[in-house]
A and B are shown apart, each in its own frame.
Chain A
């Protein structure tokens, strides 16, 4: 049994009192005390988000304003392109894009969202990486951009098929937003930045709101019977069904964006032959892998039985021992590893992701996961497990 550890070393978000009032079970996460679930429970919270709307506190994430001395987002974009493989310069006003910070070997330091806000870029990074990301930006973009972490702002996500109706009741203009739009919106008199995005595979919004106004906003959103507060437990099962990476599990400094099957996040302008090809850390490796392929690849994994297959589970080609296979891995050695796995409440079955050699990455390939000493059959599956329902332009 895991006991909940509470410690005065952990930070609290501006919604801490709301979580406790609503009976959340608080757990340490990335240096914060965060709600892992409410009395509804992880299964119902997950299903509620897919059928109605879920409200998530993601205030632990880092919100950063990147500004060039010229006051033009395009100049900040040129500077940021020296650290990420995405096309940021072409990002239109009010649009957002997913990308990664790479290291010199093409590994991923963090994944992030960037939006063009006209006179600056607005960046959202992972909680566990935010201090390192800020230092990285300051160090590498010294003289080119100012880096301003927004410590006095909360971040909440409203996700699910009812999210639009609920948020439009406060600000009708959000209904006209499309997937990956990001624009200033006034909500209950508070100046917010709203983006039509999320981490669940559902339509929905992320709302950057002044810390002093977030509790009032959330209580108002929760007055709608469609909206329930959702904890980190369901956030994880929702993103896993949606095939979305969790930094530190599915992505880290040893995985490149190509190995991670994130090629879609590297636009043509940054690839070989593009207008601004390369120019980010580890570009040689990443661009070579884009042209020639990588040796391994992140794939979906569908266990054939009912047992969940968790992160760090070894994958084998054979049910037992096994004959040597040409090339790596050697006989009996793992052919790969599960990086995220659990039960998918909407699928009604276990779901997982992991890395396998490209020879094994084809959909339908049968592999075996070593769970408590038994090799359980799993099949390579297309991602996402749950079709996304973004409101595309």
Chain B
């Protein structure tokens, strides 16, 4: 089950490791991505801090850590082929995995209905 942030990241929990990416709405708004910069493995981030950068033809956007934790794995495939984030944002287009430091932070995230409500404005 996916959780969401109001900044358009998604998170999927697998044990105590979270997979993180950007939502379909985010990729559509950004347009064709041409560059992805991912964090180093072992890097630690506080919830809401900038952890990665995606760039479209037009502009660069920060991707924020949905929860605090340490990066355990990054998706080199999207570095090689940024378009994967556009074509499959919640699948092959995932960005990085992080070990969740404090699972209570998950409660601050949106469920799908809550995220859709934000998109509906």
Contacts and interface: CB of A to CB of B under 8 A. Distances in A.
A254 interface: no
B58 A342 contact: yes
**From DSSP, what is the main secondary structure of chain A's interface residues?**
mixed
B34 A343 contact: yes
A42 B31 contact: yes
Given A234-B57, A308-B35, A343-B35, 15 more contacts: A1-B8, A1-B29, A1-B61, A2-B29, A36-B58, A37-B31, A43-B32, A43-B57, A233-B31, A237-B57, A307-B35, A307-B37, A308-B55, A343-B34, A343-B57
Contacts of A8: none
A372 B53 contact: yes
B26 A1 contact: yes
B34 A308 contact: yes
B77 interface: no
Nearest to B36: A306
A310 B58 CA distance: 9
8 contacts: A1-B26, A37-B31, A41-B32, A234-B57, A310-B59, A343-B34, A343-B35, A343-B57
A186 B63 CA distance: 52
Interface of A: 1-2, 36-37, 41-44, 46, 233-234, 236-237, 306-308, 310, 342-343, 345, 350, 372
A350 B34 CA distance: 9
A307 B55 contact: yes
Contacts of B37: 307
Interface of B: 7-8, 26, 29-32, 34-35, 37, 53, 55-61
Contacts of B59: 2, 310
**Which 9 pairs, one residue from A and one from B, show the smallest C-beta to C-beta distance?**
A343-B34, A43-B32, A42-B57, A41-B32, A343-B57, A308-B55, A307-B35, A42-B31, A306-B35
A342 B57 contact: yes
A60 B16 CA distance: 54
Contacts of A310: 59-60
A343 B53 contact: no
Contacts of A372: 53
Contacts of B29: 1-2
Contacts of A37: 31
B26 to A, nearest CB: 7
Contacts of B26: 1
B110 to A, nearest CB: 15
